[in-house]
């Protein structure tokens, strides 16, 4: 006689949200590490001071590490809601900064900043879809 065992289904409801949060964390940490390591040459290209580049890069690394860890907690819905709201605010703030020209960005700086904001908006959309699956 053979015994039939069943395993609980994997946590598929949270999979898109967890994936998109971890993708966001990886993008932020990777980009932040690159920016922090190349702050001087990037400063000449972007128009921002090297110190601002380094601080921004270091902040992205810290955020990426914390977000990656937070994506693994049991109640990932709360994390997702907070990250979606924060990313939406960040994307809107970047659009305002670029539209008003508050920062002394060069053409390369504007392009890089807009590209990072677009990537953030894309990941925010995935995170939102992941949250919708939970509802």
Range of the domain at 45: 15-129
- Say what the pTM is: 0.86
How many other CB atoms are found less than 10 A from the CB of residue 32? 20
Separation of alpha carbons 23 and 21, rounded Å: 5
3-state DSSP helix/strand/coil percent for the chain, to nearest 5? 80, 0, 20
CB 98 within 8 A of CB 134: no
Residue 9 lies in a domain: no
At 13, phi and psi to the nearest 5? Answer: -60, -35
Residue 6 lies in a domain: no
Residue 123 lies in a domain: yes
- State pLDDT tens for residues 31-77: 999 999 999 999 999 999 999 999 999 999 999 999 999 999 999 99
Residue 31 lies in a domain: yes
Which of 61, 75, 56, 74 is closest to 26 using CA atoms? 61
Residue 112 lies in a domain: yes
Which of 37, 56, 33, 30 is closest to 109 using CA atoms? 56
Q: How many domains does the chain have?
A: 1
- State pLDDT tens for residues 77-132: 999 999 999 999 999 999 999 999 999 999 999 999 999 999 999 999 999 999 99
């Amino acid at each position: 006689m053979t015994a039939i065992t069943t395993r609980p289904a994997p946590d598929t409801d949270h999979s898109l949200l967890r994936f998109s949060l971890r993708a966001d964390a990886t993008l932020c940490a990777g980009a932040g590490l690159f920016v922090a390591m190349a702050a001087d040459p990037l400063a000449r290209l972007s128009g921002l001071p090297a110190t601002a580049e380094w601080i921004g890069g270091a902040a992205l690394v810290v955020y990426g590490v914390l977000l990656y860890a937070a994506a693994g907690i049991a109640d990932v819905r709360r994390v997702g809601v907070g990250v979606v709201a924060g990313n939406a605010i960040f994307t809107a703030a970047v659009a305002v900064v670029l539209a008003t020209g508050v920062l002394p960005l060069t053409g390369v700086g504007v392009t890089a900043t807009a590209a990072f904001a677009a990537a953030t908006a894309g990941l925010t959309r995935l995170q939102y879809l992941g949250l919708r699956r939970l509802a």
